[in-house]
Amino acid sequence: MGENKDVWVFSEKYDLTLEIIGKGREIANTLHTELAAVLVGSGVEKKADELIKYGADRVYLVDHPALEHFQSEAYLSVLHSLAIKYKPDILLIGSTKNGKPLAARLATRLETGCIPDCTELSVDEKGRLIGERITYGGNAVAKIIFRSKPQIATIPARVFKKLKLQDRNGEVIKLDVKIEEPKTEVVETKPLETSSINIEEANVIISCGRGLEKKEDKALLEQLANIVNGQVGNSRPLAEDRKWFTEWVGLSGHKVKPKLYIACGISGVIQHVAGIRDAKIIVAINSDPEAPIFEVADYGVVGDLYEILPALTEALKKRFQ
Amino acid sequence: MKRIIVCLKQAVDVTQLKVDPATSQLLTASAPKKISDFDKNALEEAIRIKEKNGETEIFTVTVCSEDAKPVLREALAMGADKAYFVNDHTLQNVDTWATAYVLAEAIKKIGSFDLVLCGEASLDSFSGLVGSRLAELLDLPQINSVRKISVEADVVTAERTLEDAYETVKSKMPALITVTREINQPRIPSLMMIMKASKKEIVTWTVADLNIQKEKIDAKNEVIEVLAPKTERKKIMITGENTKEIAEKLAKALFQEGIIRR
Ligand SMILES: Cc1cc2nc3c(=O)[nH]c(=O)nc-3n(C[C@H](O)[C@H](O)[C@H](O)COP(=O)(O)OP(=O)(O)OC[C@H]3O[C@@H](n4cnc5c(N)ncnc54)[C@H](O)[C@@H]3O)c2cc1C
């Protein structure tokens, strides 16, 4: 076990790779080891230098036409070969819909542990990685350590910040590895409409839940958002059940940290609340005085969102004049 | 005859979980348990595949240190044909590695199958690793986070939602699929189905019955702390004579907090 060294970073998403390098750099510094990024794809060699400028000391580059698109068996075999060959101490993998299963399979192939969806990472006095994650539907935060190596953790998007581009030098190691044959075949991909705005960065978020009767009524929230320079969000059922949107705020969606979060017609079930814990001020507007959202709100208004929202928009407009 | 294996976890009902305010510890032992939501979706999907394709048997597999029979009865009432239950007190602090390992050995003992269905993640721990770990241990093709499945001959086609795309993926069976909640709405068993289920079999195994060496299921991870996050909210209710007054009071409060800017 003693021979494992260095902190590694991998994600099939480039932006997420940079974010994880940001945190990986800090951990590598604490442990006085090196930080390596694993770069996998086809025609990606030109990105290696940039990864170093963002904080990596070394880049393991596997560039092959068969790796152009993410494919579980292919990517898994690449990461597995590298991990066997160089024995990293810590491996941080982007927690995407493809990345998390990859991390789980890799951890299993290497017979080691895995901490999924870490919201914080640290190192204890013995140099062991501690991962923190939200558990029990948002009721708790768990701290987890490893009894095996490498220590594999997955990191969701936008939890950590990428570093500033710097003039740094590092080493690029180009490798040829045996790529496993795919067991599944992607027969079609359609782009998904995602909001181009980044809700995690928003200072003010006005969110609606099932209390909203029609998709068009979102305009009520948008009018308020316009006044306060905010963004509009929603609870999961509006996406999952009603298919009005494709994203949502909460445990299984975006975890946000605005200065102000206004929940309109949202009951405040813990899975939703888990996504807004880091909001500075939470306002709840709900017609049901018993709604659990009031228990986690700073300001609560019992009332119809169709009346309160326009009135609040007017009141704020007046104050801005 | 096709065979679908559905992995079911008995999870803590997180919506009914209480926190000890003095210590911030969760009172998980006394919290009610149920079939983990996504796993119920997996079972429902298996039943729908059976209804559509016929000639299919559905077995559930559960690994748990506590009694889970009442929960398994519900699964049988919904439409599973047989439940396999690995029940062993040594499984108390299992991690995702050990859980997947025991599931894999149980599934190997059951024998052949065409499809393994799991929930994308469990309701309580929400790790989302066990399905993928199981696919690796059984050396199966795997499709994750699936919201639609169709089975034809020995090929399964699945639709999944990624961060920025919808994807349709094909695989030869046997294969392992993890499903999301949007795939279906699980049925509520009728009284008739509940009565009929009482005659169905729950096969109970211990770890020893599966010939698993103890070292193989030593945990790879250890949870050192689980605490409820402190939420100190002001909980100020704003009231007034009319909507206008309420809105103005709220606007004033938000200004005083210094959190809004034009
Ligand atoms: C594993 C798991 C993960 C999940 N992850 C998430 C997640 O990430 N995010 C998420 O949001 N959910 C998530 N959910 C779903 C969650 O459990 C709830 O079902 C969901 O948050 C409820 O959404 P809601 O508050 O919009 O709807 P409801 O619970 O139906 O609440 C609607 C509220 O609107 C109020 N209302 C109705 N009309 C009006 C009106 N005119 N004016 C004012 N108020 C009105 C009602 O009083 C009610 O309180 C998850 C569930 C599970 C099992």
Residue A159's pLDDT band, with cuts at 50, 70 and 90, is confident
Residue that has been written with the tokens 């009951």 in this structure: A267
pLDDT tens string, chain B, 262 residues long: the values are 999 999 999 999 998 888 888 888 899 889 999 999 999 999 999 999 999 999 999 999 999 999 999 999 999 999 999 999 999 999 998 999 999 999 999 999 999 999 999 999 999 999 999 999 999 999 999 999 999 999 999 999 999 989 888 999 999 999 999 999 989 999 999 999 999 999 999 999 999 999 999 999 999 999 999 998 777 899 999 999 999 999 999 999 999 999 887 6
Distance A151 CA to ligand 1 centre (A): 36
Q: What percent of chain B has pLDDT over 70?
A: 100
Residues in chain B: 262
- CA gyration radius for chain A? 22
* Count of the separate structural domains present in chain B: 2
Same domain, residue pair B158 and B242: no
User: How far apart are alpha carbons A61 and A265 in whole angstroms?
Assistant: 49
Same domain, residue pair A12 and A135: yes
pLDDT(A2) > 60: no
Cis peptide bond prior to B174, omega within 30° of 0: yes
pTM here? 0.88
Q: Which residues of B touch A115 (CB under 8 A)?
A: 221
Cβ distance of A139 and B26 shorter than 8 Å: yes
Q: What is the pLDDT of residue A1?
A: 46
A181 lies in a domain?
Answer: no
A315 lies in a domain?
Answer: yes
CB-CB neighbours of A44 under 10 Å: 18
Mean pLDDT of A194-209: 84
Mean pLDDT of A80-98: 97
- What CATH number is attached to the domain comprising A223? 3.40.50.1220
3-class secondary-structure state, position A116 = coil
Query: What residues make up the domain containing A132?
Result: 5-174
Task: Average the pLDDT over each of A143-147, A193-197, B151-155, B198-202 and give the range with the smallest value.
Answer: A193-197
B153 lies in a domain?
Answer: yes
User: How far apart are alpha carbons B123 and B125 in whole angstroms?
Assistant: 6
Q: Which residues of A touch B252 (CB under 8 A)?
A: 319
Closest ligand 1 atom to A252 CA: 8
Which of A126, A158, A174 is at the close of a domain? Answer: A174
Same domain, residue pair B43 and B171: yes
The tokens for A267 are 């009951």
Using CA positions, which residue lies closest to atom 41 of ligand 1? A304
B211 lies in a domain?
Answer: yes
pLDDT(A196) > 70: no
Q: Which residues of B touch A302 (CB under 8 A)?
A: 237, 239
A192 lies in a domain?
Answer: no
Task: Average the pLDDT over each of A94-98, A158-162, B106-110 and give the range with the smallest value.
Answer: A158-162
A207 lies in a domain?
Answer: yes
Q: What is the pLDDT of residue B229?
A: 78
Same domain, residue pair B207 and B179: yes
Cβ distance of B169 and A113 shorter than 8 Å: no
Task: Average the pLDDT over each of A85-94, A163-172, A269-278 and give the range with the smallest value.
Answer: A269-278
Closest ligand 1 atom to A291 CA: 49
3-class secondary-structure state, position A5 = coil
Residue A270's pLDDT band, with cuts at 50, 70 and 90, is confident
Same domain, residue pair A163 and A213: no
Same domain, residue pair B117 and B204: yes
B227 lies in a domain?
Answer: no
pLDDT per residue as tens digits for the range A119-133: 999 999 999 999 999
pLDDT per residue as tens digits for the range B70-107: 999 999 999 999 999 999 999 998 999 999 999 999 99
| B239 to chain A: closest CA residue | A301
A190 lies in a domain?
Answer: no
pLDDT per residue as tens digits for the range A220-267: 999 999 999 999 999 999 998 898 988 899 988 898 999 999 999 999
3-class secondary-structure state, position A145 = strand
The mean of the pLDDT values for chain A is: 94
B224 lies in a domain?
Answer: no
Q: What is the pLDDT of residue B179?
A: 98
Same domain, residue pair B255 and B175: no
